[in-house]
Amino acid sequence: MTVFFIKGIVSQPVYVHVHNGKVEILPAEDLWGKDTIDTEDTLIQRHGTRARVACIGPAGENLVRYAGISNHHGRMAGRSGLGAVMGSKKLKALVLEGKNKVEIHDRATIQYWSKATSKLMPRGKSSIPGWVLLLMGRIMNLLPINIRIDGLMSLPPFGEWGTNSTNELSVVSGDAPVRNWRGNPAMYPTKNVGVNRISTYQRKKYHCTACPLGCGSVMEISGRYKETHRAEYETVTAFGSNLLNQDLDSIFDMNEYCNRMGLDSISTGSVIGFAMDCYEQGLLPENLTAGLLLEWGNQETISKLVEMITYRQGLGDLLAEGVYRAAKVLGDQAQKYAIHSGGQELPMHDPRMDPVYGVIYLADPTPGRHTITNTMEYEMFNLWTRVSWAPKPAPQYPKREKYENSQENAAKNAAGAMYKAILDCAGLCLFGAHIGVDRSGIFEMLNAATGLELTPDEYMRTGQRVQDLRQWFNIRHGVEPDQVVINALVRGQPPAVKGPARGLSYDLDGMRRKYWQAMGWNEMDGHPLEQPGLWI
């Protein structure tokens, strides 16, 4: 594996070009100011169709704190502001090309598991109609139990609609935030963002390289852009229910604009929700609003604010700092409307409905991240079939068990986090992993690819060390884990009075302590008990 570590800052824009091991730093003044798609097209025209490009847009250039990195025409690595890091270095893009083959220790075993996994993927349209997905969300609210779901069930709707298959389900079940997390599903009719409406935009399937599922799609839209990658659930929710915006055309337009500008759509939708709450409460000075009507669902205002954030104009300059810093400027009353953990805006999954999200949002080395583990994904991973110590959930169990501060729940959360670290290191897909380790052969393929002979338990230990390293990195740079704070609202403090989350709260601090203990960290301060050594 080749890793690029880029140090230093240059005075003029550049891009890095790597061709068969040769590294060049080339001028990029002509690219500075271009959006991500124009940048990628220009560099591919310059270096050939075999080149692959990772680049930033104007948001990264302007150091918006939640700017991301784009590849393949707007596929975003959006979270945590890495686009701003590139922008601070005046690094516009990284261009890779080459013809070297990837060496594999045991190709036959890789091919066996690849074919076996591909056979499990759905073919054709989903046999699950959209109304069933909506009904599932309503039933989930009524049942007093959780039912363990086989990951194979998630594949047909994912193959057809991607993460948009959960748009309606998540709203009615209480998973999706409404009105900057302070509303409830009754405020947001879901028909306009459901899969039946989504289907009318879909023009062709989009697959990541060699993926047999293909959960993406290219959408035909009207307005200033003709097409866009299908917005993910997070984007539809951040610009939809979170802002009480029911206009799917507006949401898709914002999706494409964010992709081109290089903005994280989760944080962008979140800061706009924060601004609308502050506006409603009279916390925004008139000189910042400049005649803008920051009303819920106002599509014109939403569009204008995203542009202002990109170029740090007026109120956009403050919002480009994120909700945590913006709230500090606006004063104590604004703090309650800043929904974040450790300074990062929260994803579109409410921990009051699944407290595992709360634990991970607060306790992971990257706070406010939703792609580590949760109750449903842990149950899909089937880790207990390969990992000796991973707890096996019952086929069905009372919902209240999710909220218990137990050693078993902590062990599930730790196992999910360690396994996700393995997936990330291997470059494997989280959605593909839903079929379970007993069907995917992930541990077997890792051995076949590398020539190692590690057991699943040993791979999980590697995942633990990855988490240790991430935690030590933060500590070395002055970020103490026990000082990370999360908005009290998502703890259920005070409990909601309406909607699926009504009356729900949980002992998040206690759960964090038990999670740290299960990770092999000091339960009080989050420091790993094993000191970093040669294994790093």
**Domain with 404 in it: what CATH number?**
1.10.599.10
Say what the pLDDT of residue 309 is: 99
| 257 part of a folded domain | yes
Instruction: Please answer whether residues 252 and 286 qualify as being in contact, where contact means their C-beta atoms are separated by less than 8 angstroms.
Output: no
Helix pair angle (355-363, 508-518), 10° resolution: 70
Q: Are residues 168 and 298 in the same domain?
A: yes
469: left (phi over 0), alpha (psi -120 to 50) or beta: alpha
Q: Which residue has the tokens 């349209």?
A: 125
Q: Are residues 392 and 493 in the same domain?
A: yes
Say what the pLDDT of residue 534 is: 53
Last residue of some domain: 97, 119, 140? 97
Q: Are residues 319 and 376 in the same domain?
A: no
| 533 part of a folded domain | no
Q: Are residues 365 and 297 in the same domain?
A: no
| 45 part of a folded domain | yes
Q: Are residues 176 and 79 in the same domain?
A: no
Q: Are residues 156 and 54 in the same domain?
A: no
- Give the domain range for residue 398: 355-518
| 469 part of a folded domain | yes
Q: Are residues 324 and 376 in the same domain?
A: no
| 156 part of a folded domain | yes
Each residue's pLDDT, cut to its tens digit, for the chain (536 residues) gives 678 889 999 999 999 999 988 999 999 999 999 999 999 999 999 999 999 999 999 999 999 999 999 999 999 999 999 999 999 999 999 999 988 888 999 999 999 999 999 999 887 777 677 888 888 888 888 899 999 999 998 898 999 999 999 999 999 999 999 999 999 999 999 999 999 999 999 999 999 988 999 999 999 999 899 999 999 999 999 999 999 999 999 999 999 999 999 999 999 999 999 999 999 999 999 999 988 999 999 999 999 999 999 999 999 999 999 999 999 999 999 999 999 999 999 999 999 999 999 999 999 999 999 999 999 999 999 999 999 999 999 999 999 999 999 999 999 999 999 999 999 999 999 999 999 999 999 999 999 999 999 999 999 999 999 999 999 999 999 999 999 999 999 999 999 999 999 999 999 999 999 999 999 999 999 999 988 775 44
Q: Are residues 336 and 441 in the same domain?
A: no
Q: Are residues 249 and 360 in the same domain?
A: no
Report the Cα–Cα distance between both ends of the chain, in Å, rounded: 16
Residues in Cβ contact with 252 at an 8 Å cutoff, skipping those fewer than 6 apart: 201, 219, 221, 228, 231
Instruction: Please answer whether residues 245 and 177 qualify as being in contact, where contact means their C-beta atoms are separated by less than 8 angstroms.
Output: no
Q: Are residues 359 and 341 in the same domain?
A: no
Separation CA 36–CA 42 (nearest Å): 10
Separation CA 493–CA 482 (nearest Å): 19
Q: Are residues 204 and 264 in the same domain?
A: yes
| 163 part of a folded domain | yes
| 534 part of a folded domain | no
Instruction: Look up the CATH number of the domain holding residue 337.
Output: 1.10.569.10
Total of domains in the chain: 3
Q: Are residues 162 and 240 in the same domain?
A: yes
| 500 part of a folded domain | yes
